[in-house]
Chain A
Amino acid sequence: MKQSNMEFIRKAGLVVFMTGMVVFLASFFLAKYSYTPEIVDIHVHEAEQNLLLKKELEPNEGRINNSNISYVKMLSDAIAKVNKIQLEKYTINNIDINNIINRSKDLKFSLSLADSVFAGNSLEVVFKRESFTAYGGWLDDREFDSQASMKEVLSGIAANISRYEISGKKGFDSYRTKDLKYALTKAASVGPVRDHPLLFIFLTFGLCIIGAVIYLLPGIKELPGIKNDHIFNNSMTSRGWLGILTGSFLIIFYILLYYLPEYMTNWIIMVDPLSMALKGSEAGRFFLYGFIYTLAILVMGVRMMIKYRGNTYQQIRTVSVMFFQTAFAFLIPEILLRLNKPYFDFKNIWPLDYDFFFDNSLNQLLAGGTLGIFMLGWGISLIIIGVPVMVYFFGKRWYCSWVCGCGGLAETLGDPYRQLSDKSLHAWKIERVVVNSVLVLAVVMTAGVLYTYWTGSSQIAGLNTYSVREAYGFWIGAAFAGVVGTGFYPLMGNRVWCRFGCPLAAYLGIVQRFKSRFRITTNGGQCMSCGNCSTYCEMGIDVRWYAQRGQNIIRSSCVGCGICSAVCPRGVLKLETGTEKGRFGKPVLLGNDSFRDSS
């Protein structure tokens, strides 16, 4: 094909792709929000809260909100108001506490005292009685030295009840508020996307896919061979304005996804029909995410296949991540849900899968019958047998660049950015500290969660295991793995999370470094220090440092992507899994006999 024709096709593809992108972004704004009491009925089943919320929202009935911002604000205000009303109504106040103290004999507390103070059948006193029994049960028969100390302890209990129990049982706690805002926004959305979701799927995802394929296909006509031409002249791939723009878009997307899903309901409505077809229920934000994620891996996987024609290792590896993402991460879990089985990703491994041991996941698996128990056993054996055995034979690459979902996205969508990883010694030092700290944190967090699971107590050494796991989820699970992990592709390379954050990578890496057959062999004295290998190592390994001194490359962080070997213009590097012998051999640069005997 002529160069100019090819350029034309590419441009056409780009235009189609950009059209899809623009419609996708525009659809964010293509909705109005109309509140009706029915949507509260659907999503709030507790009678008390239901009525209160509807009452608060009543003035908005029949009004159309043009922007989700004002609509969500209205919801937030109403929810906050309900919480406030309930707090006032149910708080155990000073009078209640003084009553208890006054009735006590010899400053001795007993639950019967509380029962007598909170006697009756009204909603308030029933709640106060029950919650006081639950939160203050451990104080039964406790004697105090003074009224003041008794008051202090009892007030503490009352405060805990206000903090956790009232919002949880009588109002809306923070989790519920987040869900509710999202659900009530989604349900209230009206407009073209709601009316024609399939059309919009075509106009957004459809056009993007078609455009991308048109853009990529002419590559097949080129001679095989890896072309990294102009990567550092292109603002998209060299931290120029296009790269920064793309990074910002990804970062905003992730922030919406994790923290503000109520603003992205229109995109979720778009994929509702797909979700219905697949699992028989409406889409949630993580369905949308899984869908986009899988598409990205598939389309960019095709790009990999074309770019690395002539390198079978790259092609097989790419098919592998495309397969594991589509089947194991996306389809199978959704189908399991449809069959009323526990949601389970068979290839996800703790501690990357940091909530594997959370009480809700464990309970779900334990309640899932034989299949559930099998899943639990499978997950655990991957951690203690699968990882070490596979890493021993193949290196950590079997997971990181063949199976893992994060790795899959990094190797496909992220491939154009691999050269942006920092290769300095300084970065390596930071990497080792940070990634291993995250591993320690994950282990500690999980140990705490399991402690709570077995003992029922949520306090260890002054720490609340729920707060720890919540913080881990927020900072590591969402902010680090998601926002930074993917959002920073165009800024710091495609493996920021895998390199600096992933606790599983740290674990795999320790095995790879100390007990594995995997190594990258340096070919005698053939290296000419050009630096292609280091530049294109997504893990920021200075491969050249080893190659130019005739040393094998054995680094815990190496994910075995094989790109260093693929781009080396002198055939110096080979990923191998021979024997353990000679992995760490003395660096030798073949070819110089001057001191062959003396050394």
Chain B
Amino acid sequence: MKQVVIIGNGISGITAARNIRKLSDLEITVISAETDYFFSRTALMYVFMGHMKFEHIKPYEDWFWKKNNINLINAYVNKIDVSEKKLYLSGAGSIEYSILILALGSVTQMFGWPGQDLKGVQGLYSYQDLVLMEENVINVKHAVITGGGLIGVEMAEMLMTRGVHVTFLVREKGYWQNLLPEEESQLVSRHLRSHGVELKLESELEKIIGDENGHVVSVKTNHGEILDCEFVGLTAGVKPNIKLLEETPVETSKGIMVDSYLETSVEDIYAIGDCAEMRMPEKGRISIEAVWYAGRMMGETIAHTVSGHKTAYKPGKWFNSAKFFDIEYQTYGNVGNVLHAGEDKFYWEDASGTRCLKLVFDKETNILKGINVFGLRMRHEVCDRWLRENRTIFYVMEHLKEADFNPEFSSKFDREILDKFNDGGFGTEVVLRKNQSVLSKFLGF
């Protein structure tokens, strides 16, 4: 029988395994060196903060894998022999495959900063990083985090629950400005500061300074400023984990190169998730999408191909979400950090400065291109439909309520948003659809 071997038990590898099991009765083996069982990487922070224990971030109970006849091996794959179709494992011999799926994930991006190997200096990606962070945080009063992305904010939030003062070095003029537009970036920056994070904008790490025991004592910024600290978080992004492929014919660039069927340059070897780099990404998508959802969708797709229904990977409309301390963020479609040619925008922010809505649309046709929303929840299905159906922003404004996904009794902002929109000089005046009467709402007419 065909033996499908998957390296990596993250979201992409595990989704592939689960879906192959649903679609076929191929033999499935998942090899991973990080943990015995699949866990949610995105939830590591909650374990550190004491919201959950590690067992809670395992999405499936331990019996699940055996019951579904998915073999799990906890081992490190040292080497792939492509011609023999064989993998060599640390300690546990070798294993043959008919089909190999590489779901290797990412590793923390290190830029070769002087002192990056000192004690108390670390990134945050793996379970081992979490364990290390527990050790490193003991007796820490000050921490410096460098790199203004999502993981950095998470790290700041984690450290602050242990009473650590956090200084956050951000290269741009505002937090995450290589992705977020100015207004949103300001909103988040304000929020971080209100929580007591010391944001140092337009600052970069130059070197990390240690003491005689090899432990970090301070960092030096590009402005020559010395910041005392006992902990340094390196969160300037992640990069595909491709070390395993170094001595193989599998073609790599930044990531493992795959075609639209997620197949690598070597037959019967596929790559999915963070480690995959699309040769020709779909329009509006980038070649490496190191996010949870992309990993999951690639896993679903590859399962079809492996199970005999060759299927091209076609992600739909882009979406993503995150949370910055207390502020939730969702995005649908494409909102760049700056407007592209021919684009216009509508922006609303509430009086407290913790909620906002941004719509980007085509200047000519008024067709919606993307939505950013902070501090409010929107309905994925509705936003997705607007984008697919090429709705104009007037339509969107008129139907805004349909996308409301906030908990019941939440304050309503549609009136306020609409007023702002009508004042914005976009041409057509939009009238709010009449409220249903309480009775008809109750009876559901």
Contacts and interface: CB of A to CB of B under 8 A. Distances in A.
Interface of A: 3, 223-225, 228-234, 238, 310-313, 316, 393, 419, 424-425, 517, 521, 523-526, 528-532, 534-535, 544-545, 548, 562, 565-566, 569-571, 574-576, 578-579, 589-596, 598
B194 to A, nearest CB: 6
B56 interface: yes
B304 A595 contact: yes
Interface string B313-329: 11111010111011010
Interface stretch (B40-48, B173-181, B202-210): B40-48
Main secondary structure of the interface of A (DSSP, over half): loop
A528 B380 contact: no
A233 B57 CA distance: 16
B40 A592 contact: no
Contacts, number: 168
Contact of B301 (A526, A529, A576, A592): A592
B380 A526 contact: yes
A231 B50 contact: yes
A492 to B, nearest CB: 16
B415 interface: no
Contacts of B49: 228-230
A528 B50 contact: no
A224 B61 CA distance: 34
Given A230-B50, A528-B42, A569-B323, A591 B59 contact: no
Nearest to A311: B407
B194 A223 contact: yes
Given A312-B407, A526-B319, A591-B316, A228 B51 contact: yes
A23 to B, nearest CB: 32
Nearest to A229: B161
A3 B381 CA distance: 42
B330 interface: yes
Contacts of B163: 3
Contacts of A579: 444
Contacts of B381: 523-524, 590
A424 B43 CA distance: 19
A425 B62 CA distance: 11
Contacts of B296: 525, 589
Given A313-B407, A523-B380, A565-B407, A531 B326 contact: no
A594 B311 contact: yes
Main secondary structure of the interface of B (DSSP, over half): loop
A534 B315 contact: no
Contacts of A562: 407-408
A572 to B, nearest CB: 9
Contacts of B56: 531, 534-535
Contacts of B301: 592, 594-595
Nearest to B51: A228
Interface string B288-326: 000011001100110010000101111111010111011
23 contacts: A223-B326, A229-B49, A229-B51, A230-B161, A231-B50, A232-B51, A310-B326, A311-B407, A312-B410, A313-B409, A524-B379, A526-B319, A526-B380, A528-B40, A529-B59, A531-B56, A571-B378, A589-B300, A590-B381, A594-B297, A594-B315, A595-B304, A598-B311
Given A531-B58, A570-B330, 20 more contacts: A223-B325, A225-B326, A229-B49, A229-B161, A232-B51, A312-B409, A524-B380, A524-B384, A530-B43, A530-B57, A532-B46, A535-B51, A565-B407, A570-B323, A574-B406, A591-B316, A591-B380, A591-B384, A596-B316, A598-B311
Nearest to A562: B407
A231 B314 contact: no
Contacts of B444: 517, 578-579
Contact of A393 (B58, B406, B411, B442): B442
Nearest to B296: A589
Contacts of B43: 528-532
A575 B321 contact: no
Given A532-B52, A575-B408, A595 B311 contact: yes
B254 interface: no
Contacts of A595: 300-301, 304, 311
A224 B410 CA distance: 14
A424 B55 CA distance: 11
A458 to B, nearest CB: 47
Nearest to A312: B409
A238 B54 CA distance: 13
Contacts of A310: 326
